[in-house]
């Protein structure tokens, strides 16, 4: 996703992180899709063993074929919808702000921006077996803005992101304090 589609970068502003959910989240959806796609194959073998006449009947065979085709189309649609939902969720961290892009289903999208100066607290967590093995988890950014908390969900290296965010916030505060002194 191109950042310029989301925000207008200031002259000296740099994009430092472009974060998405860990790839394993989409992979889990993919595994479920593969299992669902195997269901008609299982049904085929079952019917072949129990009611083979259904598979060769003049009317039943096309009916089953159409049913199977419709089923696969719906599962395949679920695949692309899962990907779009996964891919369009993003968190952008620049030298000035944090942008939270949340795609909720197909017809709801929320974009929130937060100036680094309004960040009050940053917390990271990694919970569970798979998150510990693959090092992904959540980062919670407590704010003084309208949106009380920004949640970076299921991102890679959350503890590193937290540390770097805190460094960025400190640098941003020092820079703004220095600019404040210069203006006076």
Going along 20-62, which residue ranges are E strands? none
CA distance linking residue 25 with residue 139, whole number of Å: 16
Can you name the residues that pair with 80 across neighbouring β-strands? none
Q: Which residue has the tokens 């949640």?
A: 151
**How many whole angstroms separate alpha carbon 73 and alpha carbon 76?**
5
Beta-carbon count within 10 A of 24 CB: 16
* CA angle (117, 122, 127) in 5-degree steps: 160
* Residues binding other proteins (CB under 8 A): 1-2, 4-6, 58-59, 62-63, 65-66, 69-70, 72-74, 76-77, 79-81, 83-84, 87-88, 103, 106, 109
CA max distance for the chain:
90
Strands (E), the chain: 15-19, 90-94, 97-103, 109-115, 119-125, 136-143, 149-156
């Amino acid at each position: 996703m191109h950042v310029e589609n989301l925000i207008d970068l200031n002259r000296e502003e740099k994009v430092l992180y472009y974060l998405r959910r860990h790839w394993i989240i989409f992979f889990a959806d993919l595994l479920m899709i593969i299992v669902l796609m195997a269901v008609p194959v299982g049904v085929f073998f079952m019917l072949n063993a129990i009611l083979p006449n259904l598979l060769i009947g003049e009317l039943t065979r096309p009916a089953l074929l159409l049913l199977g085709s419709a089923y696969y189309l719906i599962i395949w649609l679920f695949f692309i919808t899962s990907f779009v939902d996964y891919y369009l969720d993003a968190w952008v961290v620049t030298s000035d702000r944090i942008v939270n892009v949340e795609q909720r289903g197909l017809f709801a999208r929320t974009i929130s921006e937060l100036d680094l100066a309004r960040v009050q607290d940053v917390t990271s967590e990694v919970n569970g077996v798979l998150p510990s093995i693959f090092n992904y988890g959540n980062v919670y950014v407590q704010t003084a803005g309208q949106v009380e908390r920004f949640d970076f969900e299921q991102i890679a290296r959350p503890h590193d992101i937290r540390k770097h965010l805190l460094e960025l916030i400190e640098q941003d505060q020092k820079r703004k304090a220095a600019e404040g002194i210069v203006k006076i």
